[in-house]
């Protein structure tokens, strides 16, 4: 009943919110009312009332252009792959400048796995905008579960992992390789996805960048972790899971409602939010447009929440925050065929790892993300890095000044280093071309001689071995060329020349 009561309350408040918005405009801009005593205070008060009572819908990324190589590059959003619970969204870049186009084509492709933890992927708008300056960018845009009909089936944590694997394979098929960045919640399923691919011998991403996630939620537990450990699994199932009410496409689907998640976020720092709203009221009266716009942008994003499918939410609570299945080494994930596979991070060997934590993170505590290094023992020490962002909270590591000035340069350098290393390994010839041709010809002649001998020998008397012993065995240089050519990954050429 709680979801139904919430919707009834929201519907009841909607006309009052609309009235507050109209009154704010009347006192703020009206030719008569705007000139009355206390008009500015009245306008500010009604504006605050409107903001507190309005319904916040899914925001847009609204990234229209970025600067690359000193040139303004146009951004066009497209859906590269549409799944029942997620869209893989691409930010395609266009330019008519030949030099800039050459730069765009050479830049690495990055899959940003956004969190499915109550907010929309647009929470990473600043992350995407910054990354677009030096990368081809894709992002997981998770759907609001109350908008997904029951006919689309269930969605578990195992399905989330399969989605990530499908997205990685798609980018690898398109570009030959990719890099993966996970922010907060998806660090765990992304590590699981790459681990399972490694165990099956699949081609892995060149790098994994993990930022502020609960790889090992036992370390430096926060309020989020404590809630999950002090309440039993049955408590979550009985107290925070509700069916979607009538009027939505997902009617009847069991979900963890977004408004409950939002209430939990606010409850973590109620004083801070109260102060922020009071400051907004004062800024409105002072006419401080810059501060007013900053407040609106933040809370337009912060107050826009989505519902999560109950199966996925409960699976995450149990596997990540109660059983600690990943770090305990007993996590079995069901693949697309319904077969259980053990998650083994130690099988990852060819993917470089970067972990990022905020010094003041109150959602994923210190050491929780860094724990990935203890699990990925198969990755060489010189292929692993950890970075703690001084003075940064949870949101500061992927949004705002610290992200742009401190974190992004580190991430960009890490990705570029390993992307360039892979390109050099693919392009570098194993031996001198002329030296490689000669032994290959010798081997060909020897093989031909042996074939002729075998055919003739069927109808003739045995003969002495032909004098081609030295040629029947390839020289060391030819063996090396053959081995390195087999190991060099094939890169798919792209026919498009305008958008990257």
C-alpha angle 231/234/240, rounded to 5°? 80
Other CB atoms closer than 10 Å to residue 147's CB: what's the count?
15
Angle between helices 157-175 and 187-199 (to 10 degrees): 60
Under 8 Å between Cβ of 36 and 55: no
CATH 1.10.10.10 assigned to domain 65-257+307-426? The reply is: no
Give the C-alpha separation, 231 to 324, whole Å.
Answer: 15
What would the DSSP string read from start to end of 99-165? HHHHHHHHSPEEEEE---SSB-GGGGHHHHHHHTTTSEEEEEEEPPGGGS-GGG----HHHHHHHHH
Closest to 11 measured CA to CA, from 247, 244, 240: 247
Structure tokens at 145: 């579960």
Cα four-point dihedral sign 426, 427, 431, 433: positive
Cβ proximity of 80 and 138 under 8 Å? yes
* Positive or negative: CA dihedral 252, 253, 255, 258: negative
User: Exposed, middle or buried, 219 (CB in 10 Å: 0-12/13-18/19+)?
Assistant: middle
53's CB contacts (< 8 A; 6+ apart) are 13, 14, 16, 17, 20
The CA angle 417-422-425, to the nearest 5 degrees, is 125
Q: What is the rounded CA–CA span in Å between residue 68 and residue 135?
A: 10
Q: How many CB atoms lie within 10 A of CB 233?
A: 13
3-state secondary structure of 318: helix
Q: Among all chains, which residue has been given the structure tokens 């049955």?
A: 234
* Sequence ranges of the domains in the chain: 2-53, 65-257+307-426, 433-487
| C-alpha distances in Å from residue 146, one per residue of 83, 117, 273, 306, 323 | 15, 14, 27, 8, 28
pLDDT by residue, tens only, the chain of 500 residues: 788 888 888 888 889 999 998 999 888 876 667 777 888 889 999 999 999 888 889 999 999 999 998 899 999 999 999 999 999 999 999 999 999 999 999 999 999 999 999 999 999 999 999 999 999 999 999 999 999 999 999 999 999 999 999 999 999 999 999 999 999 999 999 999 999 999 999 999 999 999 999 999 999 998 888 888 899 999 999 999 999 999 999 999 999 999 998 888 888 788 989 999 999 999 999 889 999 999 999 899 989 999 999 999 999 999 999 999 999 999 999 999 999 999 999 999 999 999 999 999 989 999 999 999 999 999 999 999 999 999 999 999 999 999 999 999 999 999 999 998 887 777 655 443 333 333 333 334 333 333 333 333 323 333 343 333 333 333 333 444 444 344 444 433 333 334 55
Backbone angles phi, psi at 416, to 5 degrees: -60, -40
If you compute the radius of gyration of the chain from its CA atoms, what whole number of angstroms results? Answer: 29
Distance CA 212, CA 203 (A): 26
């Amino acid at each position: 009943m709680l979801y139904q009561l919430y919707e009834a309350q929201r519907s009841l408040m909607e006309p009052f919110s609309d009235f507050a918005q109209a009154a704010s405009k009347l006192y703020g801009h009206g030719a008569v009312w705007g000139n009355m005593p206390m008009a500015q205070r009245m306008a500010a008060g009604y504006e605050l009332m409107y903001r507190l009572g309005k319904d916040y819908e899914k925001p847009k990324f609204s990234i229209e252009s970025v600067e690359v190589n000193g040139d303004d590059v146009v951004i066009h959003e497209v859906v590269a792959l549409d799944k029942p619970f997620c869209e893989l969204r691409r930010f395609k870049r266009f330019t008519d400048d030949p030099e800039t186009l050459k730069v765009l084509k050479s830049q690495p492709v990055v899959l940003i796995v956004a969190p499915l933890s109550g907010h929309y992927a647009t929470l990473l708008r600043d992350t995407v905008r910054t990354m677009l300056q030096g990368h081809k960018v894709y992002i997981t845009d998770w759907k609001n579960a109350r908008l997904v009909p029951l006919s689309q089936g269930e969605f578990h944590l195992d399905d989330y992992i399969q989605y990530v694997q499908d997205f990685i394979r798609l980018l690898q098929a398109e570009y030959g390789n990719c890099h993966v960045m996970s922010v907060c919640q998806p660090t765990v399923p992304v590590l699981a996805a790459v681990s399972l691919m490694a165990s099956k011998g699949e081609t892995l991403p060149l790098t994994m960048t993990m930022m502020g996630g609960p790889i090992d939620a036992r370390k430096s537990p926060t309020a989020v972790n404590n809630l999950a450990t002090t309440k039993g699994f049955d408590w979550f199932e009985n107290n925070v899971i509700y069916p979607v009410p009538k009027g939505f496409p997902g009617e009847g689907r069991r979900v963890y409602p977004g408004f409950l998640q939002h209430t939990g976020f606010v409850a973590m720092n109620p004083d801070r939010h109260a102060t922020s709203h009071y400051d907004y009221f004062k800024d409105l009266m002072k006419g401080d447009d810059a501060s007013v716009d900053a407040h609106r942008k933040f809370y337009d994003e912060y107050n826009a929440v989505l519902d999560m499918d109950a199966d996925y939410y409960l699976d995450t609570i149990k596997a990540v925050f109660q059983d600690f299945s990943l770090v305990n080494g007993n996590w079995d994930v069901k693949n697309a065929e319904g077969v259980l596979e053990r998650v083994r991070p130690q099988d990852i060997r060819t993917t470089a790892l970067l972990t990022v934590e905020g010094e003041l993170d109150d959602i994923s505590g210190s050491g929780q993300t860094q724990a990935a290094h203890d699990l990925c023992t198969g990755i060489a020490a010189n292929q692993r890095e950890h970075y703690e962002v001084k003075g940064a909270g949870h949101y500061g590591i992927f949004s705002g000044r610290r992200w742009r000035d401190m974190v992004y340069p580190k991430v960009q350098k890490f990705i570029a280093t390993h992307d360039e290393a892979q390109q050099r390994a693919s392009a570098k010839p194993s031996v001198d071309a002329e030296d490689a041709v000669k032994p290959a010809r010798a081997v060909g002649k020897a093989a031909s001689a042996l074939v002729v001998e075998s055919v003739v020998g069927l109808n003739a008397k045995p003969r002495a071995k032909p004098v081609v012993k030295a040629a029947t065995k390839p020289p060391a240089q030819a063996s090396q060329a053959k081995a390195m050519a087999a190991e060099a990954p094939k890169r798919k050429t792209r026919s498009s020349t305008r958008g990257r």
